[in-house]
Structure formats: structure tokens, C-alpha cells
Amino acid sequence: MSGSALFIAVFLACIVEAVEALTIILAAGTARDWRSAITGLFAGLLTLAVIIAALGPAVSSIPLGGLRLFVGGLLLVFGLQWLRKAILRASGNKALHDESLIFQTELAAAQQAQAERRGLVADWYAFTLSFKGVVLEGLEVAFIALTFGSNQHNIPLAAAAAAAAVLLVVAVGVAVRAPLARVPENSMKFVVGIMLTAFGMFWGAEGAGAHWPGSDAALLVLIPAIGLYALAMVALFRTKPVKVPVPAGMATSQGGTH
């Protein structure tokens, strides 16, 4: 797997998570209190830093064969979940992921919540909403960067890709001060689902002792093959696309929305 392929895979996956975290933080700050929301953001980042500091060496110390089997299995589980939901969305059997709608739903819920001060935090609801969003989405960013980087023995490049994705989303979000609704998130999730599934199959098989013809070049066949299969499933299950309202609280449990 080349460095550019590693960077692109991590960057695309992380940019999706960053957009979702941004939507939650914007809702917390807009509806409640920006200082509390920003405090929750930094508290979440600090929590993530501690978790990553603990997990990084642990993941890197696993023997390569065992690491690839373990990571391949996890990526396959994540990838198939992303891909299943992407196929359902593309075929019209599941509502399209709409950041503007999620923002409005979370905004309404935040406006109705009772104000509560705890210690130095003026608005506990805004703090916890922002904190949970950062930690939940940040954990997925960390997982993607650590697993891809460890497998390729290039954690710095994977971390740089994740950081670039997050910084890009933050910069654009600060500039427009609105959810990034124009980001083709549904298409990106489809592509990322394909890539995670392909890498999961590839590394899992290698970890189990299999040898792919052409080594890393096998990914050039595996990724398009999975993509064509996914598109065939979309065509098979296609119905008239219908957007439905997102239930309140959906944005705060994004781990199940991919």
C-alpha cells in the first residue's frame, strides 16, 4: 500500500467523522452557550489524547501477523456496516444523511433542555453535548489512523492525514459557521465503506496466513470488485428515494449513523 493511498484512505474516513463532530459542536454553541461548548470541545480533545497515548504503544507492540488479523477483522466489521447503510441510502431504503437536518434537530433539542450550571461550566448541557460529540467521533478518527498507520508502519503519515482532515473541516466550519451540508457525505461514506471493507479483507486474510497474488497490487482489483458489487446491490434494491426526519438525539450517537 503506497503512502498516497494510505493518506487518501485515512483522510476521507476522518473527514466524515470531523463533519459530524462539527455539526454537534455548532448546535451546542448556537443553541446554548459557546464558552461551554468550546470547553466541552477541549475536554473531549484532552480525553482523546490520554486514550491515544495509552492505545498507540499497545497497538504498535502487537506482532504484525496478529495485528493484521485483528485490525483486518475490525475494519471488515466497520466497513461492512458503513457499506450496508450506504447501499440502503443510495437505493432509497434509508434516509440520506443530512447534516442540515441533524443540526436543526439537535438545535431544537438543545433549546428545549433545561439550563444547569456545574462548577466553572455555565451550561452543562452544551458542555456534555460538545464533549460527547468530540469523544465519540474522535475515537473513530483515532481508531482509523492507528490501525491503518500501524499496519503500514507509518503512523506519522496516518496521523497527518487525520489531522489534515480535521483541520480542513474546522477551518471551513469556522469560516461559514454552519453545518457543512454541501459536503457530499453520503457519497464519501459509500467510498469509505468500500475502502474499509477491502482493506479489512486484505489485511485479515494476510494475518490469517494467506498470500494475495501481486501482494499490495491485489487491492487494485479488490477495491473495484467490492465497489461494483455494492453498485449492483444498489441497483437491485433501488426504490424511490425518500428523506425522513432524523429522530432527536441522533446526532449525539453518531457511532450508529454511518
pLDDT digit string (tens) for 206-235?
888 888 887 778 888 888 999 999 999 998
Residue 256 domain-assigned (yes or no) = no
Residue 255 domain-assigned (yes or no) = no
List b or e across 218-256, with b for residues whose CB sees 16 or more CB atoms inside 10 angstroms: bbeebbeebbeebeebbeeeeeeeeeeebeeebbbebee
Q: Which of the pair, 111 or 141, is modelled with greater confidence?
A: 141
Q: Evaluate whether 255 touches 140 at the Cβ level (below 8 Å).
A: yes
Residue 258 domain-assigned (yes or no) = no
**According to the model, what pLDDT value does residue 19 have?**
82
For the segment 238-255, what is each residue's pLDDT rounded down to a tens digit? 865 545 444 444 444 444
Residue 78 domain-assigned (yes or no) = yes
For the segment 43-87, what is each residue's pLDDT rounded down to a tens digit? 988 998 888 787 766 666 666 566 677 777 878 888 888 889 889
Total tally of structural domains belonging to the chain: 1
Residue 222 domain-assigned (yes or no) = yes
Residue 257 domain-assigned (yes or no) = no
Q: Which domain holds residue 214?
A: 3-248
Residue 112 domain-assigned (yes or no) = yes
Q: Which of the pair, 193 or 112, is modelled with greater confidence?
A: 193
Residue 17 domain-assigned (yes or no) = yes
